[in-house]
Amino acid sequence: MSYCSNCGAKLPKDAFYCPKCGVKTVLGAEKTAITLEDLRETFNRIEKEFEKAFALATKEMHAAFKKAMENIQQEPPKETVTCSNCGEKNLKDAIFCYNCGTKIEPKTEEKV
């Protein structure tokens, strides 16, 4: 008869885990032991999955950057207003100059 190394409960002869506290028994440790070769195979499978994932991510990022560049090139010019205080060009919806903080009069002047 064997006993649990954690709680001291009596263990059935074929127990892989203690029925009282759940600790793995000696028999359970032997059954679930992982060999070095098992680890190598697992890491090799993980490596291949990562390679696939990174290749797909790279392809998707290139496509996204290409689409973003196309969108930027197609973007119409933005209307601007010039600050009466410092002369800086601001977007037409600006209420205050981003350069000096002066309140901007709502008058559009030109396209950039």
Q: Residue 107 has what pLDDT?
A: 59
DSSP label at residue 3: E
Q: Residue 111 has what pLDDT?
A: 52
With contact defined as beta carbons under 8 Å apart, do 61 and 47 qualify?
no
What is the domain partition of the chain in residue ranges?
34-75, 77-112
pTM more than 0.75: no
Strand 79-82 and strand 10-11: pairing? unpaired
Q: Residue 21 has what pLDDT?
A: 96
